[in-house]
Chains A and B, each alone.
Chain A
Amino acid sequence: MASRKKVLLKVIILGDSGVGKTSLMNQYVNKRFSNQYKATIGADFLTRELVVDDRVVTMQLWDTAGQERFQSLGVAFYRGADCCVLVYDVNSSKSFEALDGWRDEFLVQASPHDPENFPFVVLGNKIDMEESKRMVSQKRAMTWCQAKGNIPYFETSAKEAINVEQAFQTIAKNALAQEAETELYNDYPDPIRIDSENSQNYGCNC
């Protein structure tokens, strides 16, 4: 990547309903947390600019928009992802056991060029709850991550803003590396995006 063109990273966040995907995004981008759970309504993607390895990058965090509830995320959602974040709730074994399925789903739907090396990051969320409620030990989670090709693992709390910054910094760094990879495959100019601003009327040609 010789050019210094603006870098846009697409990051998608997967995991069972209620593990805190939207809350993590909100904490990271808006520094906000709401204790009231409602199934995701109105969340689309959030963007934040940050500096990675001296480069300013724009990270787009794509929420599932609730379409994960009945496994109805379409292939379009996965296209062009530079990093996939898998989230589970450390107080729910079920949400941890679902990670395998989400990872497989991602690899099938997104069909990355090099599935072995595609960057995933795993977040064990809700570590602010009392210890007695915890169902998945750090060791168990780390063993799983190692077995899947050394996936970076963070234990987070969207509520208390624990480890959220660090986790997303790693996500951005790994996404940037992936983006550089895919650039090699793509020598086409950027596609056209339709919105009112780039609709130019450079005169009728007839």
Chain B
Amino acid sequence: MSNPELESDHYDVIVIGTGLAESIAAASLAKAGKSVLHLDPNEYYGGEQASLTLDELVEWSNNQPSSSSSTSHVQYFSASTTPLDAELQNDRRRYALSLFPAILPSRGNLIDTLISSDVSKYVSFRILDSISLYTNEGEFKKVPGSKEEIFKDKTISLVDKRRLMKFLMFAAGEFEDSEILKGKETQPLIQFLQESFSLPTQLSESIIYAISHGSSATEQTLPALERTRRYLKSIGRYGNNAFLVGQYGGAGEIAQGFCRACAVFGGTYILGASAKPTSISISAESVTLDIPCHPRPITARRLISSPNHIPPSLLGHLQGGPEEPSLTANCIAITKTLPEALRRKSTTSSTEESAEEQSENDDTSLIVFPTENGVIRCYVNGEGTGSCPPGQYIIYLSTSLQSSTSSPSEILQPYLSKITPDPVFSAYYVSARPCSSSVPSSTADGIVVLRPYAGTELLTEGLDWEAKQGELAYRAVVGEDGRGFFEKDVSEEEEMGIEDDL
């Protein structure tokens, strides 16, 4: 297992970092016949989207700075974890803990890319079992995900059911030209729901936080509706919920699938300290970099990277905008007891579907706490996701932060204790995401910079954002007239045709 030298000193494209967007870009370029060298200074795949084992997460946490210093790339700080007991230590490699906990809408950029690239064959999913809202009464109320579930729900009056259905039909349709929306595109969503559809407050909040998955009741109506439509159209594609849960931590596993696809198309992979560039320079014609494991400088026509691997001097004058980064408090916890929100109430009468063998309780769930200081989202992964040992659950919590001095555990711990009274492990940290405008997409001719997700809906939008970034990077390299993104060869099409005939 000794290190050979690289076969070449020159590549069409060098990609630094194996985050999801980078990996998609690398795979699509290799597929289009470009020679690709893909480097990651980390020992593991996935970059910002990595799934870590428990010991890796503790090490990762120990390596984060105590405060944020940059506004041009994603940073993590104020990180802390509880110690690992003997059992956790022993099982440490059986966990896949995501630094980018996110669910995947069944319609959108990433699903399309998984299918067109055939990377779908490397990854597996489960349908999200439930979405719950924490009510003022201190209960977890499951939000009906489909027409049938709405009709079965005994807590909604018949009149309100009609109003809700009317809104859902509206939101799933071509509302852009609708008279109902005219002039109200920028109205706060809650006002629109209450005035235009006569929806009561509680039902409106269910729509905002658990169907539209917004962060605020006062979000503008049009963008919220556009997102809602995509989620509604996602229902029924793979099951009775709009969202899929990636196994083994999700994003990091998917990124590895794209890296494998890139390797299959001839891409070269080096991970770890020996792949960390010691210098990067650009000229009119090419990008040159040095890495410890290769004796000579390596050149490439193009360099693709997220901003954190690019020296600030090369990010140029666009580096660091005037805007403050958006801050998020995060928690990753493990429990060995079933969270109450995942318990399936026996009152919900069994349908034909459940005659099939099914686990008694939910294995995956999204739980939303609307609070005065903004929405707190909780996402739970059980053993069916392959990301923890049997009988355990991974709990992810996140919320927007107003100030970088707030302690993530002080804010999130009260909500963690509502989900589970006795976590066996917890990690807290703050992530700082630069505002999109402060990250350039292309600095000089040679470098394509991938923008990190900057919004507040990372849980439902983050994966599709990454896929879009990967596609944009591909197009920046091949140009507008180049071959299509993951376009199939004629011979492949023929091969598929032959297989069909057999």
Write the residues of chain A forming the contact surface with B, with a CB cutoff of 8 angstroms: 16-17, 39, 41-44, 65-67, 69-72, 74-77, 79, 94, 98, 101-102, 105, 108, 111, 185, 187-189, 191-196, 198-206
Partner of A191, one of B145, B236, B247: B247
A205 near B147 (CB under 8 angstroms)? yes
Chain B residues 147 to 189 lying within 8 A of chain A, measured CB to CB, are 147-148, 165, 168-169, 172
- List which B235-275 residues lie within 8 A (CB) of chain A: 235-240, 244, 247-248, 253, 256-257, 259-260, 263-266, 268-271, 275
How near does chain A come to B148, taking the closest CB pair, in angstroms?
A: 7
Interface residues of B (CB under 8 A from A): 1-4, 7, 44-45, 93-94, 111, 114-115, 118, 120-127, 145-148, 165, 168-169, 172, 232-233, 235-240, 244, 247-248, 253, 256-257, 259-260, 263-266, 268-271, 275, 293, 356-359, 363, 383-384, 386, 390
CB contact under 8 A between A70 and B270, given known A42-B264, A205-B147, A205-B235: yes
- A91, B448: Cα distance in complex, Å: 45
Closest to A39 in B: B7
CA distance in complex: A41, B263 (Å): 7
Bound state CA distance, A200 and B359, in angstroms? 23
Could you pull out 11 A-B pairs where Cβ atoms are within 8 angstroms?
A66-B266, A69-B268, A69-B269, A74-B260, A77-B256, A187-B359, A192-B124, A199-B238, A205-B236, A206-B146, A206-B169
**Given A41-B265, A194-B238, A185-B248 contact (CB < 8 Å):** no
Chain B contact surface mostly: mixed
Of the candidates B263, B264, B363, the one having the most CB atoms from chain A within 10 angstroms of its own CB is B263
Asked whether, in the complex, the Cβ of B146 is within 8 Å of the Cβ of A70, the reply is no
Q: Which of A41, A71, A105, A204 interacts with B172 by CB under 8 Å?
A: A204
Asked whether A194 and B236 contact (CB < 8 A) given A41-B266, A76-B256, A188-B383, the answer is no
Are B268 and A194 touching (Cβ within 8 A)?
no
Besides A75-B256, A205-B145, 18 more A-B contacts (Cβ < 8 Å) are: A41-B264, A67-B259, A72-B270, A74-B44, A75-B45, A102-B1, A185-B390, A189-B357, A191-B126, A192-B244, A194-B115, A195-B120, A196-B115, A198-B238, A199-B238, A201-B236, A202-B236, A204-B235
Collect the chain A residues with CB atoms within 8 Å of residue B145's CB.
205
- Report whether B111 and A194 are in contact in the complex, using a CB–CB cutoff of 8 Å: yes
A193 partner residues in chain B, CB cutoff 8 A? 120-121, 124-125
Q: In the complex, are the beta carbons of B115 and A70 less than 8 A apart?
A: no
Beta-carbon contact of A203 and B94 below 8 Å:
no
CB contacts (< 8 Å) of A101 on chain B: these are 1
Q: Report the minimum CB–CB distance from B162 to chain A (whole Å).
A: 14
Q: Are B386 and A79 in contact (CB under 8 A)?
A: yes
Assembly CA distance A105 to B1 (angstroms): 11
Q: Which residue of A lies closest to B267 (CB)?
A: A66
A43 to B147, CA, bound (A): 46
Q: Which of A16, A77, A94 contacts B260 (CB 8 A)?
A: A77
For the complex, give the distance between the alpha carbons of A135 and B45 in Å: 36
Cα distance A193–B384 when bound, in Å?
Answer: 14
Residue of B nearest to A65 (CB): B263
Point out the residues of chain A lying under 8 angstroms from B2, CB to CB: 94
Most chain B CB within 10 A, of A98, A202, A206, is at A206
Query: Contacts A188-B359, A195-B121; is A76 near B3 (CB within 8 Å)?
Result: no
User: Which residues of the partner chain B approach A79 to less than 8 Å between Cβ atoms?
Assistant: 248, 386
CB <8 Å contact, B124 and A65? no
> For the complex, what is the distance from the CA of A67 to the CA of B266, rounded to whole Å?
10
Chain A residues, CB < 8 A from B233: 204
Tell me, in angstroms, the Cα distance from A16 to B386 when the chains sit together. 29
B257 touches A76 (CB 8 A): yes
- Given A39-B7, A111-B93, A188-B363, A199 contacting B237 (CB threshold 8 A): yes
How far does the alpha carbon of A101 sit from the alpha carbon of B363 in the complex, in Å? 37
* Set of chain B residues within 8 Å of A43, measured between Cβ atoms: 264
Find chain A residues with CB under 8 A from B169 CB: 206
> Separation in Å of the A99 CB from the closest CB of chain B?
10
- In the complex with contacts A72-B269, A76-B45, A194-B111, A67-B263 CB distance below 8 A: yes
Whether A98 contacts B1 by the Cβ 8 Å rule is yes
Chain A residue numbers with a CB within 8 Å of B93 are 108, 111
Known: A194-B111, A205-B235. A42 touches B265 (CB 8 A): yes
Given A74-B44, A76-B257, A205-B240: A44 touches B4 (CB 8 Å cut-off): no
Is A194 touching B123 in the complex (CB atoms < 8 A)?
Answer: yes
Contacts of B239 in A (CB 8 A): 192
Given A70-B3, A74-B44, A79-B248, is A204 in contact with B236 using a C-beta cutoff of 8 Å? yes
Q: Nearest Cβ distance between residue A46 and chain B, in whole angstroms?
A: 12
Q: How far is the CB of B219 from chain A (nearest CB, A)?
A: 21
In the complex, how many angstroms separate the beta carbon of B91 from the nearest chain A beta carbon?
A: 9
From B53, which residue of chain A is reached at the shortest CB distance? A75
Q: Are A192 and B127 in contact (CB under 8 A)?
A: yes
Looking at the assembled complex, report how far the CB atom of B82 sits from the nearest CB atom of chain A, in whole angstroms. Answer: 22
By a CB distance below 8 angstroms, the chain A residues around B383 are 188
